[in-house]
Structure 1
Amino acid sequence: MKKTLLIAALTGLPLIANAVGQPYLFDFIQNKETGKAYNSLIAKQKLPSWVKIGGTSFPANEITIKGKRYLALSGCKPHDCPAQSIAVLYSLDEGDIHGVYSEHDIKNDRQILTWMNLGPMDSDAMRNILFNRLNGDVSG
């Protein structure tokens, strides 16, 4: 009996540990509310299929921009992160979402950015955080 309880407890440990941490992009997409916002963000873009499920990602981190709380999330093409990646900012208070998709053009050796839901008047801080998140800076 004790052995069965120990196995059950150890099996559930990763779920408990993940529940207290920040979500990965995959988890964010699977959530009904945040997934709807994410899907609306990428719907009008011609993006690779891995973007729809989040690809390989890091845990989100919470940041504050001009007094508003955001989750910063990112994902990249599985087995080829330098080639393609996505970064997202989701407002915890208002539910608005912004993002940037990056693709590396190998032929011309340049990075092509597709900004999503960011107008010309949106803050430079928001763009900087998204760009930094694309390039591996998860400090916020």
Structure 2
Amino acid sequence: MKNKLIVAIFALLPLAVNAEGNPSLFDFVQGKETGKAYKSLIAKRKLPSWVQDGGTSTPANEITIRGRKYLALSGCMPHNCPSQAIAILYSPEKGDIHGVFSEYDFTEERQNLTWMNLDPTDSDDMKNILFSRLNGDVSN
């Protein structure tokens, strides 16, 4: 009985560690305020249905841009990450959200980017971080 309890504790340990860390994009979408911000970001775009729930995602990382903290999150198309992905930056302090959606055409070897809530005068830092996050870089 004691061995079964120890095995059960070790089996649940990764869930406990992840629950205490930053949210994945899937978790972010489920939040009341964060989900509302995310839905408003993607609402005006014709994006694939998997984007609605964040797709396959990993925990966010915290970054600082011009003294403001952001969560950098990303998700990709389940079972086909290289073809479609989304990355977002969200400021818990201000509630502002920015993003980019990527679709890669393998036949033409071309990546199409759809920037969301970023105008031409927005920070190049934001664009670079979003693009890096699309490609799996979470070190920013």
Q: What TM-score do you get using the length of structure 2 for normalisation?
A: 0.90
Aligned to 1:81: 81
Q: CA deviation at 1:61?
A: 0.1
Structure 1 segments, 4+ long, off by >6 Å, are: 1-8
Bigger shift: 6-15 or 118-127? 6-15
Aligned to 2:110: 110
Aligned to 2:128: 128
* Structure 2 residue matching 1:40: 3-state secondary structure: helix
* Structure 2 residue matching 1:111: 3-state secondary structure: strand
Q: What TM-score do you get using the length of structure 1 for normalisation?
A: 0.90
Question: Pairwise mapping of residues 1-140 of structure 1 onto structure 2 (< 5 A)?
Answer: 13-140=13-140
The whole-number CA distance in structure 2 between the counterparts of 1:61 and 1:6 is 31
When the two chains are superposed, the root-mean-square deviation of aligned CA atoms in Å is: 1.8
Unaligned runs of 5+ in 2: none
* Structure 2 residue matching 1:114: 3-state secondary structure: strand
Q: Which amino acid aligns with 1:113?
A: L
* Structure 1 residue matching 2:23: 3-state secondary structure: coil
Unaligned runs of 5+ in 1: none
The whole-number CA distance in structure 2 between the counterparts of 1:39 and 1:75 is 14
The whole-number CA distance in structure 2 between the counterparts of 1:78 and 1:4 is 34
* Structure 2 residue matching 1:100: 3-state secondary structure: strand
Q: CA deviation at 1:93?
A: 1.1
The whole-number CA distance in structure 2 between the counterparts of 1:101 and 1:92 is 21
Q: Which amino acid aligns with 1:128?
A: N
The whole-number CA distance in structure 1 between the counterparts of 2:109 and 2:9 is 50
The whole-number CA distance in structure 2 between the counterparts of 1:19 and 1:82 is 27
